[in-house]
Homo-oligomer: A and B are copies of this chain.
């Protein structure tokens, strides 16, 4: 958590020094996050699942940069909305545990075939 708070503060300062808070409305940050998440999807779009498990060094490098962008905008958006990432993740995991009990979800993967 200390590390996430430190990252949040570095990003907060980065924007402040550049007078970028005017651009960083939650609406705009949510757009930027969605755009970066799609950029992260892009290198995978024509790969087979198998290929995606065995990226080349060049692919890995590109993907690392996109993962960073997604993370940065997520931390930034959470800051603007006063959301504690670890707290909401834990709450969601508790919800999911109730929603997908092991005995019912194991093997059957009902989550993935409910359409």
Contact = CB atoms under 8 A, between A and B. Distances in A.
A109 B25 contact: no
A78 to B, nearest CB: 6
A97 B32 CA distance: 18
A59 to B, nearest CB: 5
A28 B14 contact: no
Given A67-B78, A71-B74, A109-B20, A115 B52 contact: no
A18 B85 contact: no
Interface string A52-86: 11011011101111011111101101101101011
Interface of A: 1-4, 7, 10-11, 14, 17-20, 22-23, 25-28, 30-53, 55-56, 58-60, 62-65, 67-72, 74-75, 77-78, 80-81, 83, 85-86, 88-93, 96-97, 100, 102, 105-107, 109, 111-113, 115
Given A4-B4, A17-B106, 14 more contacts: A18-B100, A22-B109, A23-B46, A26-B52, A26-B53, A31-B44, A34-B37, A35-B39, A36-B37, A40-B77, A60-B81, A67-B74, A68-B88, A71-B74
